[in-house]
């Protein structure tokens, strides 16, 4: 309607009408903005829909109008016999949420589970989860997070699960997880991570699963994984990793699933790996692998290797036998190339290709 009147005004082209019209437009805009404010005034507070569920326990489904206008009051009626202290899970049901309201952890201090996935959150700060000392699971995936302040999780020592996938992180501060000794699952895949500080995962001694895939990591840092002795699942696919440093995974004696497909690996050295008595799956497809150290197969218990779209082998190889006959046959060229590489001749070929790819870039 506004557009229409401006349009008809323009067609008239008289100075008087111009003044009258701008006045009308001004009134209309003021009216609209007063209206918006009054809507915010009514619903600017947070409302909680309390539910009791078998799966999550006593849950608060938060409805917010605008995080900036959130104060310490929460509207909503508790179920009979329940109080704020009984809330175990807080769920955000507001897709425009940009700032995490500190009120969640000021009011629901016993919450163990916060799920604010798929909002528009841009930043996690020191006050975001301060007060939630019993928090076990934090889901912040599918937001627009570019920054997480160093002390953001300092007061959450019980965290077992953090999901930050599908955000816009390029790195993380070094001491972010310093208090997360119980963390078991960390998902930071589908971000824009290029590099991470040396000590980033140092305190995560209980970590079982880490997903770093779909980032922009060009090289792995030995220091990242040094203390992750209990890691079972390591996902590194869809990055730009060119090689695996000596000893990088040797201490991971519980490694079960290892995925590094769609990277730029060319040689699999056994010196990167250890004995890994529980390793089952190695997803190596979509690299440029042309040589594999036979000891990688013989020294691990890996029973399934995916080699699709590599240079020296193709297909998925499953071999549970003790003798590893199937793997030896399927990967023969890779093993032979590795011996040649160590003996000399293939080195030149690899170096030549290295140069040509660098020239192209």
Residue ranges that bind ligand NAG, judged by CB under 6 A = 165, 187, 189-190, 211, 213-214, 235, 270-271, 275, 295, 299
Report the nearest approach of ligand NAG to the CB of residue 140 (Å).
Answer: 14
- What is the number of the residue whose Cβ is closest to ligand NAG? 189
Q: Which CB sits closer to ligand NAG, 129 or 249? A: 249
Start-to-end CA span in the chain (Å): 54
Please state, in angstroms and rounded to a whole number, the distance separating the CA atoms of residues 16 and 78. 59
Report the 3 state secondary structure along 155-183.
CCCCCCEEECCCCCCCCCCCCCCCCCCCC
Report the nearest approach of ligand NAG to the CB of residue 107 (Å).
Answer: 31
Report the nearest approach of ligand NAG to the CB of residue 165 (Å).
Answer: 6
Q: Which CB sits closer to ligand NAG, 51 or 253? A: 253
Q: Which CB sits closer to ligand NAG, 86 or 160? A: 160
Q: Which CB sits closer to ligand NAG, 91 or 214? A: 214
Q: Yes or no: say if 73 and 96 are a contact pair by the CB < 8 Å rule.
A: no
Report the nearest approach of ligand NAG to the CB of residue 293 (Å).
Answer: 7
Instruction: Give the C-alpha distances (Å, rounded to integers) separating 62 from 78, 279, 288, 291.
Output: 13, 43, 49, 54
Measure the CA dihedral 169/91/162/72, to 10°.
80
Neighbour tally for 16: CB within 10 Å: 8
Report the nearest approach of ligand NAG to the CB of residue 235 (Å).
Answer: 5
Q: Which CB sits closer to ligand NAG, 58 or 293? A: 293
């Amino acid at each position: 309607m506004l557009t229409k009147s401006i349009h008809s005004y323009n067609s008239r082209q008289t100075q008087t009408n111009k003044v009258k019209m701008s006045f009308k437009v001004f009134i209309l805009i003021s009216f609209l903005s007063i209206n918006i404010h009054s809507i915010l005034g009514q619903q600017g507070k947070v409302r909680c829909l309390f539910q009791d569920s078998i799966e999550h326990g006593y849950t608060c489904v938060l409805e917010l109008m605008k995080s900036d206008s959130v104060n310490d009051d929460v509207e909503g009626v508790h179920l009979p016999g329940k109080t704020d202290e009984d809330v175990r899970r807080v769920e955000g049901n507001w897709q425009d949420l940009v700032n995490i309201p500190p009120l969640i952890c000021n009011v629901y201090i016993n919450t163990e589970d916060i799920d604010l996935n798929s909002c528009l959150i841009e930043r996690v700060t020191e006050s975001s989860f301060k007060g939630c000392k019993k928090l076990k699971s934090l889901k912040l995936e599918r937001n627009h997070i570019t920054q997480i302040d160093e002390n953001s999780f300092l007061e959450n020592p019980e965290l077992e699960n953090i999901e930050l996938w599908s955000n816009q992180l390029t790195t993380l501060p070094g001491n972010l997880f310093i208090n997360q000794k119980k963390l078991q699952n960390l998902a930071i895949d589908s971000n824009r991570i290029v590099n991470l500080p040396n000590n980033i995962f140092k305190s995560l001694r209980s970590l079982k699963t880490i997903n770093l895939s779909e980032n922009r990591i060009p090289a792995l840092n030995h220091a990242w994984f040094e203390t992750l002795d209990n890691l079972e699942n390591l996902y590194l696919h869809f990055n730009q990793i060119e090689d695996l440093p000596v000893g990088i995974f040797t201490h991971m004696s519980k490694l079960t699933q290892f995925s590094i497909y769609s990277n730029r690996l060319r040689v699999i050295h056994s010196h990167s790996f250890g004995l890994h008595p529980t390793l089952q799956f190695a997803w190596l497809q979509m690299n440029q692998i042309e040589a594999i150290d036979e000891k990688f197969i013989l020294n691990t218990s890996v029973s399934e290797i995916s080699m699709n779209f590599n240079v020296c082998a193709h297909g998925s190889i499953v071999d549970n036998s003790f003798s590893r006959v199937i793997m030896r046959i399927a990967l023969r060229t890779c093993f032979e190339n590795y011996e040649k590489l160590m003996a000399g001749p293939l080195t030149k070929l690899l170096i030549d290709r290295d140069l040509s790819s660098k020239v192209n870039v």
